[in-house]
Amino acid sequence: MAGTGIQYPDHFITRLQAIWGRGFLSPGGPEEVKRIVQGLGLTGKALLDIGFGTGGPGAVLAGLGAQVTGTDIEAQLLPHAQATRAASPHADQITLILTKPGPLPFDDNSFDVVFSKDSLIHVPDKGAMFDEILRVLKPSGIFAASDWLMGAGDGPAQVMADFNARGYLDFRMATADQTKHLLTSCGFHDVTTLDRNAWYADLAAREVKKVEEDLYDDLAAIVGEEIMREWLSVRRHLAEAARLGGLCPTHLRAIKPASGL
């Protein structure tokens, strides 16, 4: 579920996996996936992974015992995710489905857990998505995700407005409080958020250094000098936005009422 247009062309996948590891299009690798679902017993649970990307999170979740159904709307991601699944010892626990933007193609009360790793930022109507997540969860089912949110206050809002004005990407983000309110309004209970800005601000600074010192020449030979020069500028400004509190990866957790909708 995302907006229209290709968000992850192959040259972008190459760059992101170079800094975040094969199978991952957002930071933290297997450890961050495990943090998002910490405390949830996933063995035998039916889990929906919204935005399977290149398959790394789904493989981690299958390794934790879940029966994973992954969805994404970008066809060029599927071969990458299929390769990740094939390399996993838990491949028989992973199903990958290409979908279209809009309602999720699953029956009501289908999943014990709905998971997403940093893909909901591409969804223009978060309320409609949260309604769909609530619908496909079983009663007492759990939504456990990470998303890119914005820090609270005028300062962080201006930081992200300045970033968007540079024309690199168009991040339309809410704050944690706004997201919590929206999830509650959709009918979820026990909504919690965990701000990971401090972790990511440090990591983002180290990522810029890694690109500058270790990866630049090799990646430029693959994707081209112009793409790398622009991307390094984006990485620097993202790191600055994180340092100033504007860009906040945030863990989300919410529960569907036991009585259903």
- The residues spanned by each domain of the chain are 10-149+171-198+248-255
Residue 3 — pLDDT band, cuts 50, 70, 90? Answer: very low
Distance separating alpha carbons of residues 22 and 142, to the nearest angstrom: 27
Q: What is the pLDDT of residues 111-138, one digit of tens each?
A: 999 999 999 988 889 999 999 999 999 9
Partner residues linked to 116 by β-bridges: 145
Residue 2 — pLDDT band, cuts 50, 70, 90? Answer: very low
Distance separating alpha carbons of residues 10 and 237, to the nearest angstrom: 22
Helices 225-243, 216-223: axis angle to 10 degrees equals 130
Distances (CA, A) of 109 to 67, 73, 98, 129: 15, 22, 20, 15
Which pLDDT score is estimated for 129? 96
At a CB cut-off of 8 Å and minimum separation 6, what does 38 contact?
none
pLDDT over 90 (residue 164) = no
CA dihedral 100, 103, 104, 107 (to 10 degrees): -140
Q: What is the pLDDT of residues 42-92, one digit of tens each?
A: 999 999 999 999 999 999 999 999 999 999 999 999 999 999 999 999 999
Q: What is the pLDDT of residues 180-231, one digit of tens each?
A: 999 999 999 999 999 999 999 999 999 999 999 999 999 999 999 999 999 9
Q: Classify strands 111-117 and 46-50 as parallel, antiparallel or unpaired.
A: parallel
Residue 171 — pLDDT band, cuts 50, 70, 90? Answer: low
Residue 162 — pLDDT band, cuts 50, 70, 90? Answer: confident
Which pLDDT score is estimated for 4? 43
Taking residues 155-169, report their average pLDDT.
Answer: 76
At a CB cut-off of 8 Å and minimum separation 6, what does 112 contact?
45, 46, 47, 137, 138, 141, 142
Question: Among residues 169, 122, 129, 124, which one has the least CA distance to residue 148?
Answer: 122
Q: Classify strands 189-195 and 247-255 as parallel, antiparallel or unpaired.
A: antiparallel
Partner residues linked to 143 by β-bridges: 114, 254
3-state secondary structure the chain: CCCCCCCCCHHHHHHHHHHHCCCCCCCCHHHHHHHHCCCCCCCCCEEEEECCCCCHHHHHHHHCCCEEEEEECCHHHHHHHHHHHHHCCCHHHEEEEECCCCCCCCCCCCEEEEEEECCHHHCCCHHHHHHHHHHHEEEEEEEEEEEEEECCCHHHHHHHHHHHHCCCCCCCCCEHHHHHHHHHHHCCEEEEEEECHHHHHHHHHHHHHHHHHHHHHHHHHHHCHHHHHHHHHHHHHHHHHHHCCCEEEEEEEEECCCCCC
* CATH node for 10-149+171-198+248-255: 3.40.50.150
